Every structure is written in structure tokens, then in C-alpha cells.
Chain A
Amino acid sequence: MYGKLQGGLYVGDWRVLTPKLLEERCKKCWLCVEYCPEGAVSKGEKGPVFDLRFCKGCGICAHECPARAIQMVREV
């Protein structure tokens, strides 16, 4: 078999809790980007941007954030 990939796996529906940014608290240290196991967090102008197609909701970003700028909330 020969193959070359051009995309990520859609795993967003694994998620129970969703990360939510509290912009005013964010210090833009980008630890959330470093630690995300899925590569689902990227740098945005006002702080991290979460790509919910790939986020499994593990909560490492929120747990490691030194400024407590990310909350894990239950999706409706």
C-alpha cells in the first residue's frame, strides 16, 4: 500500500467538556498550545483558538494554564 495524508482525524465528537477562553485573564504564554496532545490549539490575536473538530476535551490546557484563563464547560 502507498499513501500520503493530507488531513487530521475528526474526533471532536469524543468531547464531553469544551475549553472556553476567558480573554481578560490570558497572558499569551501559549503553554496551552505546547501541551495540547491533539494540536488543536493555535495562537490567536486575543489568546488561544480551539479547533473543536480535533479537541477531545481532555482539559490539559485548562489544568496547566497558570492564569486560569481557560474553563472547561459542558456543551449543550
Chain B
Amino acid sequence: MPTQDVMTGNKAVAHGVRLSRVQVIPIYPITPQTSIVEHIAKFIADGEMDAEYIHAESEHSAMAAAIGASLAGARVFTSTCSQGLAYMHECVAQATAYRTPILMAVVNRTLGWYWSTGPDYSDMMPEMNLGWIVVSVESNQEALDTVIQLYRAIEDPRVMLPAMLSLDGFYLSFSSERVEIPDQEEVDEFLPPYRPRYRLDPESDAWPTALLARPLHTRYRMVYEEVMRDSLHILEEVDGEFGKRFGRSYGGALDTYRVEDAEALLVTMGSMTTAARRAVDAVRKSGVKVGLVRVRVLRPFPSEELKRIVEGVGAVGVVDRVVLHGTGCGNLCMDVKSALYGMDGRPRVVNFVAGMGGQDVSVEDFVGMAKKTFRAAWEDVDSDVEYVLREEELVRRTVRLKGRYTIYPGSLGCAGCGASIILRNILKVLGEETILVIPPSCAIVNYSDVLGVPYMLANYASTASFQTGIIRAHRVLGRKGVKVVAFSGDGGTVDIGLQALSAAAERGEPIIWVCYDNEAYMNTGVQRSGSTPAYAWTTSTPVGRVWRGKAGVRKNMVLIMAAHGVPYIATASIAYLKDLRRKVEKAVELVEEGVGPAYIHVQQPCPTGWGFPPERTVEVARLAVQSRMWVVLEVDDGRLRVNVKPRKVPVRDYLMTQRRFRHLTDEEVERLQRIADAGWETWMRLETMGRLPWYT
């Protein structure tokens, strides 16, 4: 029996993935996509779903793993958005050449240059023409249903193409609606297991390849395009069959509303269509005959279907949540215009750009657009793009203060945030002659608003490269004494940022790197990172019948940096601030001599992510050091010194202060105790060694 529940769009997608019995799910967190893969992790942890879950270290790797898994013959799902999708780009293109039927949910969010987590389609548009099927949904129910529909369509031997499922960030991802969850048996009957004809397997008759001789390129592109054009009918067919079995279908490629006698049509996509429907109802009451077309299948673009619908219509008003810069119109409008080119008695086209960065597009906005489109039909004119602008007050409650600060008081961080303590203390030492380079993290979201020194938001994977560019420019311009300091979380250090950091370390760039390590991706809502300790609960390593928190131990960044021969490496704790400030002083001395990098790794207890009351932030940090779960040391030109040698406290005393470890059994605590003891002994032995072997 199907069941009903109230859920967000992201949870609906997760249910779709569970019901589709997806086998491999490579993930990387990014807002507003993350809760999809959190829900999936919970399904697996609880034994409700049996799948391989891959915690990738970047989106690039997530898509690479997805392609590998799909080629090897498994059903694959991943999801991302915005910067993550852009970082995936080359792998996204690769998936098409291999004909891998991967499904990727793109929870639309604007693509920086101007950063926001709000939705628009600037993230998806650069990926639109790579050969993926793209379907955009309006509601949470449609999101769930479309997951199942798409697997059926893309795994069809006549198709074998990857597909993106586009749903709006926030408007769908985090809004709750009533959703019917289909019965597993029914879904199993509708969607058979994935059995590809060729696989990446020595036993397979043939192996997929993406290498192609030049004389074949044009021909293969032609064939690919034919397959893609034909897939439109299969998508429509699957939507129809789904409707017969489950009682819901979505109009195939184009979802129409009150178009029969319409003299003008609005053309929309995504969740804002719901407001457009209300606007159509409103203007029809005053006799303005406007209808609505929601483009559901964006690729392949349903040109012929659209032409049939607009026949006899005076004008279409295309509403875009994106601008194709330099063309004077939005993406959807460009598609519509090219579809209508050469059509006898084509309707006039009006283009509206609205709702960028997630700004609301209201019913009133659509009423205005509907009336303008109707007027264009009546006056029989095309018109230039029109931007739907809304006057909204910018809310920023800044208290003006006299004098110059390196960091002003107040911030958007959580009460009791340890990162704030680190940042304020390191800036005390660094002073005004500092440029901060901060990758996406809690720090950029919460503390950039109060920084009194120049800072830049680095792209996630390349913080150390941004630093390198800045420091080299300062050198060539003869500007001396400016410290270029990264303030990066653990994800930006040990996972996605490691490659650029490693390269900067190997080149010996005179930069300072401060990692504030809260042992998970806190900014996206507590997902495990390469620095999460063993057994810790996170939202991507939940505790359930099958999972026991994070499997495996964290990376050892001190030794990774030492293996590069980094001249100064230190760990620190917010419970020992004098020690931290001394280490920053040491780092400053070093880079001012033109030597580097200086690497400082500070453990940062996080009340929100670790689960303890905010007043205990410093206490928890102290317990970490006392229990030897966190060791405060430095490696100065290869000589290792443990700076804090406290009286030993059992790890249990540290672990039990935090909700993320509450599920631990005695044996698991015992294992963590052994890891801590062994680690401590190793550091003590290294301390007596003199210079480490990588320093000569």
C-alpha cells in the first residue's frame, strides 16, 4: 500500500532513490542539496536500503566515482548544485561519452560570482548542452515520481543517457508538502533491475570507451543527438505509463494549464510555476485569456511539441530565472526562440528575467507578466528582455564603532563558537597587515561580515593557490610585510583543499595556513570529513542498525605536512591560547623571512555539531588535550616537540561530553582509548628522534 507523509523535496528525492533500489551513491556535501544524501545515509544506516555509499572528497571525485560505478554495471545516484556542479563539470561531460545512465539531482542554487545559497538556474545552464537529459520539477511529489520515471527511461537500451533532475533549492528542497510514497512492490514492477549490455568487466563482450578517432567525431555526435532527440518520446511514454500505474503523470515534456482558448501563454519552469498558475486564474477573471506552459523536459528540448501548443497564440512570455550574459536573454527564452524560428505565424516573444539568487517571484509579479504578454499579443510586437525587480530592504544590523579593528565584535556564528575564538586570537597576533583567504566554510558565512582586514572567498579546492597568487603578486610589486593567511575548515584542508595545499607546500610558498578543525563539514550541517574521528555520529555517518558512526580513523595532517618538509607545522587548542598565539608569532616570523608555508592546525569544538552546551566549548577542548585525543605539538624545522603534556584523563571523560559519541559501546570506547594511547606513544618517540627523516 502506498503511504503518505509530509516531507521536504530533498526527502522526497531520497525516497525516490530508495524505492529505485539504487546501488551506488557517491556524495559530497553542498547546500541546499545535502539533506538528500543525509536522508539516504539514514536509510542505509537503518538497514532500510542496501547500497554502497561513497564519501568522496570533492564533487569532481563524486562524479568520477559515479561514472566508474555506472560503467561497472550498477545503478547510480548522486546530487549536487552550484559551485559543486561547476567543479564536476569535466566529469559531467565525460559521463555522456560513456553513455552512463547516472541520475543526478541538481538542487538549483545560484553559481558564484555573486555568492548566495538561493536558487536560480545559473548553475545548471553551463551543463545543459553536454548531452544530459534534463528534467525540471514543480513539486515534491513530482520530484519523487520523476526519480523513478527517469531510471526507467535512461536505462532503456534505446536511451542509455545520464539525466539531471532539477529541483529548486529552498522552494522545494526545504519546503514541506504532502507526498505519497509508492509501494515498493509496485515500483519494482515498474522499474526492473539495471542490466546493461556492456560493462567494465573482463567478462563483458565489449568495454565502454570514450576515446574516439578524429574522423568519427562528427558522426558520433550526430548519432548521439539522434538518440537524444528520440529519448523525448521515451520520456513521454514513461510518464504516461507511470500515470496509468500510480495515478500521477506530469504532461510528458510540457505541462500545460488553461491553454485551450489562450491568446497568450506564459512559459515557465520549476517551482515558480505554482505562482504562475494562480496568476493565470486571477487575470482570467478579468477576461485576459492567458494560459501557461511549464517546460518539464528541458533537454532534449521539446520544440515540435511547443510549436503545436503555441499555434494560433498571439504571444508567449518566457520567464527565466537566469541570464545568458552577453545575449540579452535567458536560457529558456533562447530555447523557445530557436524552436519557433521559421514557424509560420509564430507568436510574439517577450522575455522576463526574475527571481535571481532566490528572490521570490510572486503571484503579483506573474499577473504583471501575464498582462504584458497579453498586450504584446494584442499589439503584435516582440520586446526586449525585461527584468522583474523588487524593492526589498537590505537588513544588516551593524553597530558603528570608532577605531580600526582587525575583527569587530558580534558575528553570525553560533553562540559558543570555537572558530570565533581562534580567529580573534590569531588576528590579535597577525595585525592589520594581513590578507585572509577563506574557502567556503562557517568562517566565511559567519565572520566575513565582521572582518576589519581584507579577505577573499576562495573557491573550495584552491585556497592555497589563491594565496600563492596574492603572495607572488606582492613580491613582484615590491610590497613587503603583508601576511597571506588561509583560514580554512577541516574539509577545506584535509579533503577538497589538500591538492592545492600540497602543491603550495612542495613549492615552499611563504604563506600561513590555519586550519580550524571542527572535525566535520559544519557549514552544510555536520557531514563527516577526512578529519572526523572514528565512530563519530555525523549526518552522513548516522548511527543505526547497520552503521555505527564514522568507520575508519582520521587523516594525520601533521605527518602529511611533515612528509612535504614543511618548515613549521603546529597543532593547537583553544584551551591553550597563549600556545596558539606563540605559534602564530612563529609562523609570522617565518613567512616574513620568505620561508614557508607555516601550517597551524587548531582543534575547534563545535557546540552545534558535536552536541554539547555552548558554555563548554573551551572545557571540551581542554578535555580533548588531557585525554590525548588531541595532541598539542609543533614540528619546527623537522624537530618535533609535544608542547602540552597534561596528566592523563580517560578518553571516556572527553567522549561523553558530546552527543556525537553517546552511542559508543564499551568496546568502542576501549578502541578509541587504544588509538589515543598508541598515538601519544608515537609522538613521544618522535620527540626523542631529533630531526624527522624528511628534513635534511
A residues contacting B by CB (< 8 A) are 1, 5-11, 14, 34-40, 51, 53-54, 56-60, 62-64, 72
Q: Is the interface of A mostly helix, strand, loop or mixed?
A: loop
Q: List 23 A-B contacts (CB under 8 A).
A: A5-B452, A6-B398, A6-B400, A8-B401, A8-B408, A8-B410, A8-B450, A9-B396, A9-B399, A9-B411, A9-B449, A37-B415, A37-B416, A37-B421, A37-B617, A38-B420, A56-B416, A58-B415, A59-B416, A60-B614, A60-B618, A63-B618, A64-B619
Asked if A58 contacts B614 (CB within 8 A), the reply is yes
| Cβ-defined contact, B417 with A10, below 8 A | no
| CB–CB A62/B408 < 8 A | no
Which B336-379 residues sit within 8 Å CB-CB of chain A? none
Interface membership of chain B positions 515-526, coded 1 if the CB is closer than 8 angstroms to chain A and 0 otherwise: 000000000000
B413 at the interface (CB under 8 A from A): yes
- Give complex CA distance A11, B409 in Å: 10
Q: Is B89 an interface residue (CB 8 A)?
A: no
Q: Is the C-beta of B418 less than 8 angstroms from some C-beta in chain A? A: yes
State whether A9 and B398 are in contact (beta carbons under 8 Å apart), knowing that A34-B425, A64-B618 are contacts in the complex.
yes
Q: Mark B410-446, 1 if CB is under 8 A from A, else 0.
A: 1111011110110011000000000000000000000
Say yes or no: is B244 at the interface (Cβ < 8 Å to chain A): no
Residues of B within 8 A of A5 (CB): 398, 408, 449-452
Q: Given A5-B451, A35-B421, A58-B415, decide whether A10 and B410 contact each other with a Cβ distance below 8 A.
A: yes
Give A14 Cβ to nearest chain B Cβ, in Å. Answer: 6
Q: Is B397 an interface residue (CB 8 A)?
A: yes
B450 touches A62 (CB 8 A): no
Bound complex: CA A65 to CA B505 (Å): 40
B206 CB within 8 Å of chain A: no
Given A34-B577, A37-B417 in contact, is the A7-B617 Cβ separation under 8 Å? no
Residues of B within 8 A of A1 (CB): 114
Q: Of A38, A39, A62, which contacts B615 at CB under 8 A?
A: A62
The answer on a CB contact under 8 Å between A60 and B615 is: yes
Is B616 in contact with chain A by the CB < 8 A criterion? yes
Q: Which B residues are CB-close (under 8 A) to A57?
A: 415
Is there an interface contact between B615 and A58, defined as CB atoms closer than 8 Å?
A: yes
- B86 CB-CB contact with A under 8 Å: no
Task: Please determine whether B619 and A63 come into contact, CB atoms closer than 8 angstroms.
Answer: yes
Q: List which B106-142 residues lie within 8 A (CB) of chain A.
A: 114
B88 within 8 A of partner (CB)? no
Q: Which of B409, B412, B418, B613 contacts A39 (CB 8 A)?
A: B409
CA distance A7 to B450 in the complex (A): 7
- Minimum CB–CB distance from B377 to chain A (whole Å) comes to 40
Which chain B positions have C-beta within 8 A of A58? 415-416, 614-615, 617
Give Cα distance in the complex from A56 to B414, angstroms. 9
Known: A57-B415, A62-B615, A63-B616. A39 touches B407 (CB 8 A): yes
Q: How far is the CA of A56 from the CA of B616 in the complex (A)?
A: 15
| Count of chain A to chain B residue pairs whose CB atoms are closer than 8 Å in the complex | 103
Minimal Cβ-Cβ distance residue in A for B424: A39
Enumerate chain B residues within 8 angstroms of A39, measured Cβ to Cβ: 407-410, 424
Q: Give, as a whole number of angstroms, the nearest-CB distance from B73 to chain A.
A: 49
| Nearest opposing residue in chain A for B397, CB measure | A10
Binding site for A on B (CB under 8 A): 114, 396-401, 405, 407-413, 415-418, 420-421, 424-425, 449-452, 574, 577, 613-619
For the complex, what is the distance from the CA of A40 to the CA of B424, rounded to whole Å? 11
Other A-B pairs beyond A36-B421, A38-B411, 16, CB < 8 Å = A6-B400, A6-B401, A7-B398, A7-B401, A8-B398, A8-B399, A8-B405, A8-B408, A9-B410, A11-B397, A54-B399, A54-B410, A58-B615, A59-B615, A60-B615, A60-B617
CB–CB B615/A37 < 8 A: no
CB-contact partner of A60 in B401, B416, B452, under 8 A:
B416
Partner of B411, one of A6, A11, A62: A11
User: In the bound complex, what is the Cα–Cα distance between A17 and B421 (angstroms)?
Assistant: 20
Q: Which residues of B contact A62 (CB under 8 A)?
A: 615
Contact, CB under 8 Å: A54 / B421: no
| Residue from B114, B400, B420, B421 within 8 A of A7 (CB atoms) | B400
Assess the B618–A35 pair: CB atoms within 8 A: yes
Considering the complex, give the chain A residue whose CB is closest to the CB of B577.
A34
Q: How far is the CA of A38 from the CA of B417 in the complex (A)?
A: 9
Assuming the contacts A39-B424, A60-B617, A64-B618, asked whether A7 and B408 have C-beta atoms less than 8 A apart, the reply is yes
From B405, B410, B574, give the contact of A53 (CB < 8 A): B410
Contacts known (A5-B451, A8-B401, A53-B399); A40 close to B409, Cβ less than 8 A: yes
The interface residues of chain A lying within 8 Å CB-to-CB of B410 are 8-11, 38-40, 53-54
CA distance A1 to B455 in the complex (A): 13
- Considering the chains assembled together, what is the distance between the CA atoms of A60 and B399 in angstroms? 23
Q: Once bound together, how far apart are the Cα atoms of A34 and B307, in whole Å?
A: 69
Contact B400 A9 (CB under 8 A): no
**Which among B114, B399, B416, B615 is the interface contact of A10 at CB below 8 angstroms?**
B399
C-alpha gap A28/B412 in the complex (Å): 29
Q: Which of B405, B418, B450, B614 contacts A9 (CB 8 A)?
A: B450
A45 to B551, CA, bound (A): 52
A8 to B420, CA, bound (A): 14
Task: Return chain B residues, CB-CB under 8 Å to A36.
Answer: 421
- Asked whether, in the complex, the Cβ of B412 is within 8 Å of the Cβ of A9, the reply is yes
Collect the chain A residues with CB atoms within 8 Å of residue B408's CB: 5, 7-9, 39
* Distance in angstroms between the alpha carbons of A5 and B411 in the assembled complex: 13
* B-side contacts of A60, CB under 8 Å: 416, 614-615, 617-618
Min CB gap A4→B, angstroms: 8
The CA-CA distance from A28 to B400 in the complex, in Å, is 28
User: Which residues of chain A have C-beta atoms less than 8 A from B615's C-beta?
Assistant: 58-60, 62-63, 72
Minimum C-beta distance from B604 to chain A (A)? 11
Please tell me which one of the listed residues A6, A14, A38, A59 contacts residue B409 in the complex, with CB atoms under 8 A apart: A38
Closest to B408 in A: A8
Q: Which residues from A are CB-within-8-Å of B420? A: 37-38
In the assembled complex, which residues on chain B have CB atoms less than 8 Å from the CB atom of A53? 399, 409-410
Residues of B within 8 A of A6 (CB): 398, 400-401
B397: chain A residues within 8 A (beta carbon): 9-11
B451 cross-chain contacts in A, Cβ below 8 A: 5
Task: Kindly report which residue of chain A lies nearest to residue B452, judged by CB atoms.
Answer: A5
A14 to B421, CA, bound (A): 18
Minimum CB–CB distance for A9 against chain B, Å? 4
Determine the distance from Cα of A35 to Cα of B412 in the docked complex, in whole angstroms. Answer: 17
* Contact partners of B398 in chain A: CB under 8 A: 5-10
Which residues on the B side are within 8 Å of A37 (C-beta)?
A: 411, 413, 415-418, 420-421, 424, 617
